[in-house]
Chain A
């Protein structure tokens, strides 16, 4: 009795690890999942593991796989190799606090998103670097900064071979955090009674490959190689490439010799490994970092043919010792290498023997477990304050300082106007008054409606439009004009984009006296309408600022954008009901309805006149604001490099 109590107490004290990845059993089988499963299983005495992944299945959210609790967040399909699981970051954030250690299996940008924004700082983070992003390399510019932030936060980065650190620029930056822990394999399952050193398959021509049917695995290369020779090739695995591979097999007339076996359970797979004569790992990109399957084949005592990738692949099974290494994607060389082994049973036997010895000694499960446990323990034990010690000051105060500096600069700009001339910015108000007077009289000629009652709204619209237009145009040159403050005083560039909004805001307040005076003279005074317009006006301001941020940064990077922005703004102005009122124009005009400016003005103008806002306008503006916010976040990331552009 006493004894059991003690054990339960002991289990309660195990630190818990949350494994973070995109997918897990039973939705998929594959090398990375094997690694996660092995870590959970082999460390179960020291750590309590849990897994948080995405899943497309609508079944139970919480399941248990091999005694490990797995939470599956609903995903709606795959987008650019990533699960489209909008709630994953949220779930991850909620779960972080429940665990003592976070183990992120990279690459998984959805989780990087959480860490990049500074969540999860309170818990030590270990990153298992499984592969670099290879498939959608075009997205690097966006994802790499996120990954860098994650790695910066990590206590340790675990790689399977040192060559990954050497060949991955991002990892080289954090070389001092990288720990090499080669995958291990439990060879006991491979002691098939038939494996004797002298055992050689009688037919001597069965070639086995194993992996998910995805493009980077290069199975099409293997199939082409099979066409030129007469060996049999069996491929274990399932995936999206199956129809394409089937078609290729049929086209080449190889249905007799090349078989796609589909998913095969562990026991069967080991049996097949022991049965095969040659194991092939024909992967063609660096997404294959280690090739766990070839290690399994080695444990089964099979000679390997692998490819000369810049990863651990040709180092796990080395050319001339346990393997023949051929250039990736070269069907001819691959076929020749396989043929060489097929025709030489003695060499197969020697290589197989060497392979098994290497698997037993170099890649033992015990060493893997010990390596993992050491890294995990150190990460949990590492003092909290040792975390990311970078130039970043506490963000809240930095933001506040930035806003204050921007306001100071804007204020000084305005004061400077007063210094130069007596009226200061009121000169612009005067100009505004003249514009409104002229426009008003012209509009009065065009329509027979009462012009006077419309003047205040016309003046206000012109003020708002002038504000938006000048903020955006100012922003396109703001960074270049403040080059010395950015480069020599190291002020963050975003300050100067904010300064544009503040400055033009101050000028707009000056201009606002024109509509205010007109309103006081010409309209019945109803303050409740003004109050109702306030939310819309805030939306307008937010959109203006976000737009100026995005366009300002882009126009600094690409100088030819400025004239385009200028003319586009003018066009948008002319195609919007800013100076026209709704009854003067055909409201169903397609261009006008699509023009964001129309809705941007509608959300505050309609309540001001006492009309209810069209819900489409609100939705339209909110969508625009959401898009601009995303663009602004991206811009802020890229503004780090602004000093290079100016």
Chain B
């Protein structure tokens, strides 16, 4: 049983200023009894989310509303300040755009390294399949990623990250970078992942995209859940039909 369960989760994010990084300053502050003021913002405030197999959750909200932080909480990057997080299933977080790539390495090596980081032993066929999905020219496999455009880079990363079924996939502003053709393909793949009993959580500003991809959209504001919208199932259905036609 794969599930995400967040109960009354809060995260107090400490904002370290230049002085807070200094041990000397801190020790001095203790000596002269200077009240060390550590600024803390509540990045996630009393959030409760329950999700089970097949859920596709969209996180919407303005900049700084806590979308990425919430994804990182689920991924286990930040420990929650209070509340409980229960995750069952293995989480594949794809949050930053360049997570774990080395731009100096050639594309193929990067793919192999990323696969190893996510715990798989890369084989030639695996890499071939991933490359086929990116629809990039074969000669580019031997080029360092530094020479790729951001859209091309995104294709490679997306293809690698989604090559294997994940129990729980966390995406942050992922689909909006690539061009329309690839976005459709990416969505088809995401839907495919979902159909293989997975949970996907996507944070994005792109409301139409969220509506097309998700079953539930959570609007965040200042770290709180402002509203939750359930997207009508027919939307997803239409997309599946289109996928079959294509």
Contact = CB atoms under 8 A, between A and B. Distances in A.
A249 to B, nearest CB: 34
A641 B13 CA distance: 10
Interface string A408-438: 1100100010011000000000000000000
Contacts of A486: 77
A339 B26 CA distance: 48
Contact of B82 (A169, A390, A561): A169
Majority secondary structure of chain B interface residues (helix, strand, loop or mixed)? mixed
Interface residues of A, number: 34
A416 B105 contact: yes
A412 B100 CA distance: 12
Contacts of B21: 557-560
A401 interface: yes
A490 B116 contact: no
Contact of A558 (B26, B78, B82): B26
A169 B10 CA distance: 12
Interface string A550-592: 0000100111110000000000000000000000000000000
A391 B87 contact: yes
Given A391-B87, A416-B105, A484-B99, A561 B23 contact: yes
Interface in A392-413: 401, 404-405, 408-409, 412
Contact of A489 (B16, B83, B87, B100): B100
Interface in B7-57: 13-14, 16, 21-26
Contacts of B75: 490
B93 A489 contact: yes
B119 interface: yes
A490 B72 CA distance: 8
A192 interface: no
Contact of B78 (A420, A560, A643): A643
Given A488-B93, A488-B94, A558-B22, A416 B102 contact: yes
Contact of B96 (A390, A416, A484): A484
A172 B8 CA distance: 10
A108 to B, nearest CB: 23
B98 interface: yes
A405 B117 contact: yes
A137 to B, nearest CB: 15
A645 interface: yes
Interface string B183-198: 0000000000000000
Contact of B99 (A412, A489, A645): A489
A558 B77 contact: no
A401 B119 contact: yes
A550 to B, nearest CB: 14
A560 B78 CA distance: 24
Contacts of A333: none
Interface in B97-135: 98-100, 102, 104-105, 109, 113, 116-117, 119
Give the residue among B13, B14, B84, B105 with the most A Cβ atoms within 10 A: B84
A381 interface: no
A332 to B, nearest CB: 28
Interface string A463-487: 0000000000000000000001111
Nearest to B104: A416
Contacts of A643: 72, 77-78
Contacts of B172: 488
Contacts of A614: none
A409 B109 CA distance: 12
B79 interface: yes
Across the A-B interface, give the 6 residue pairs with the lowest CB-CB distance, nearest first.
A488-B96, A488-B99, A558-B23, A490-B75, A488-B95, A559-B21
30 contacts: A172-B82, A173-B84, A391-B87, A401-B119, A405-B116, A405-B117, A405-B119, A408-B116, A409-B113, A416-B104, A416-B105, A419-B105, A485-B99, A486-B77, A487-B96, A488-B94, A488-B96, A488-B100, A489-B93, A489-B100, A490-B72, A490-B77, A490-B91, A558-B21, A559-B22, A560-B21, A560-B23, A560-B25, A561-B23, A644-B78
Interface of B: 13-14, 16, 21-26, 72, 75-79, 82-88, 91, 93-96, 98-100, 102, 104-105, 109, 113, 116-117, 119, 172
Interface of A: 169, 172-173, 389-391, 401, 404-405, 408-409, 412, 416, 419-420, 484-491, 554, 557-561, 640-641, 643-645
